[in-house]
Structure 1
Amino acid sequence: MTFSALKEWDAQVQALARGQTAVVVRKGGILETHGGFEVEHRRFLLYPTFLHQNPAELRGDFQPLLRPDPSPGQIVLPALAEVQDLYKIESLDAALALEDLQALNAGAIERRFHYRQRPWLHALVLRVWPLTSPLALEETPEMLGCVSWVSLPENLDVELGAPSLPEADLTVLRKEVKSRLGLGALQ
């Protein structure tokens, strides 16, 4: 099967795979200069990156997840994610309303919101399945750089474990995100 992967800070990938959160706020990588981050794939592997991971921008309860890269020269993909909900947030107050539902602190959310003088962010609510065995791949030059999406080799074999969050918990979280964004009840 062919997969793409979404690069995200390692601490956030760990939190998603463990079910500590299912929400990610994104603006885009440094090399994504035109429109910024876009959700190019609805289902993807999570690619933990240590590049630019900033401990000062993580909320305190996610600080214990910080670690040095355990496998330099390799990427170890721990989970598969599927977008359940996607929101383009054009109000800083709305973006900050999600602070306690994801890993970034208020300062990081605000910085990303205003990045490149384009005031908006995407919020993704994800269903995440840890892989029964993390997938280890050699990191190639094509995988490097400050981009969000990475194409992976063809014919990868992955086996999914149980979802990180039980269905009922994910449903409650989806309703909470929608409510905080002022969008009413989840359909």
Structure 2
Amino acid sequence: MSAPATALKEWDAQCSLLTSGEVSVLVRKGGIMETHDGFEVERRSFLLYPTFLHQNPAELKPEHSARLRPDPDPGRIHLPALAEVVAVHKVESLEAARALEPWQALSADAIERKFHYRGRPWVHALVLRVRPLLQPLVLEETPDMLGCVSWVPLGELDVTAGEGVLDEAELQARAAGIEAGLRG
């Protein structure tokens, strides 16, 4: 199967948690080099791009801190999985943003900081179906891949992804729980 020509940069620890099925949600706001509107969901299917830049133990829930590790192969990117967006929620109340805590890896304080980042009170919550790659995909990191950006174009790649880390019933139950939590 031909892979999306785009990858989403996310902390290595979060990619690991997504790929194991422990979490199914990413809470995103935007990075230093994002547009003035912040993070946008540019693709509905993309590769996960684990990054070690800016990983912060204080931003993860304590039970996930063991996932933090130094980069085992500097200069090379090990892409673990294909992610497919099941739902996107723009969360515009801090109470609703806090309701995401059980479904994702960030601490409550980290969610609140993201929510208020740049004086714009909102975050995006992405519910993801994650399908590990059957054959490892390792790319040399190029200058075009560097920087504080969310989306990285990768060109044409052929990858084969396996089944989702969660069966469809479990994923849909999580998606419904997230939606219910956001409604309050």
- The match for 1:84 among 75, 80, 86 is 86
1:106 aligns with 2:144: no
Residue pair 1:15, 1:21 contacting (<8 A) in 2 also:
yes
Q: CA deviation at 1:70?
A: 1.0
Aligned-partner residue type, residue 164 of structure 1: V
Task: Provide the alpha-carbon RMSD of the alignment.
Answer: 1.0
Q: Report the identity percentage.
A: 63
For normalisation by structure 1, the TM-score amounts to 0.95
Partner of 1:158: 159
Give the Cα separation in 2 of the matches to 1:150 and 1:58. Answer: 24
Structure 2 unpaired stretches of 5+: none
Q: CA deviation at 1:133?
A: 2.1
Post-superposition shift, 1:16? Answer: 0.5
Alpha-carbon separation, structure 2, partners of 1:175 and 1:5: 26
- C-alpha separation between the residues in 1 aligned to 2:135 and 2:15? 15
Q: Is the 8 A contact 1:83 1:124 kept in 2?
A: yes
Kindly indicate whether the alpha-carbon contact (under 8 Å) linking 1:16 and 1:22 is maintained by their aligned counterparts in 2.
yes
The SS at the match of 2:163 is coil
Q: Which amino acid aligns with 2:159?
A: V
- Off by >2 Å, runs of 4+ in structure 1: none
Q: Kindly provide the amino acid, as one letter, of the partner of residue 106 in structure 1.
A: A
Q: Superposition pairs for residues 58-137 of structure 1, below 5 Å?
A: 58-137=60-139
Query: Could you tell me which amino acid in structure 2 is paired with residue 159 of structure 1?
Result: T
Are residues 1:145 and 2:147 paired?
yes
Cα distance, 1:11 vs structure 2: 0.3
Shift of 1:134: 2.3
Shift of 1:33: 4.0
Q: Which residue of 1 aligns with 2:169?
A: 168
| Secondary structure of 1:133 counterpart | strand
In the superposition, the TM-score normalised over structure 2's length comes to 0.96
SS of alignment partner, residue 183 of structure 2: coil
Shift of 1:132: 1.1
Structure 1 residue 60: deviation in Å? 1.4
Q: Structure 1: which 5+ runs fail to align?
A: none
Q: Distance in 1 between matches of 2:113 and 2:35?
A: 16
How many residues end up aligned between the 2 structures?
A: 182
Inter-partner Cα distance in structure 2 for 1:59 and 1:77: 24
Query: What is the Cα deviation at residue 135 of structure 1?
Result: 0.7
What letter is aligned with 2:181?
R
Contact 1:78 1:133 (8 Å CA) reproduced: no
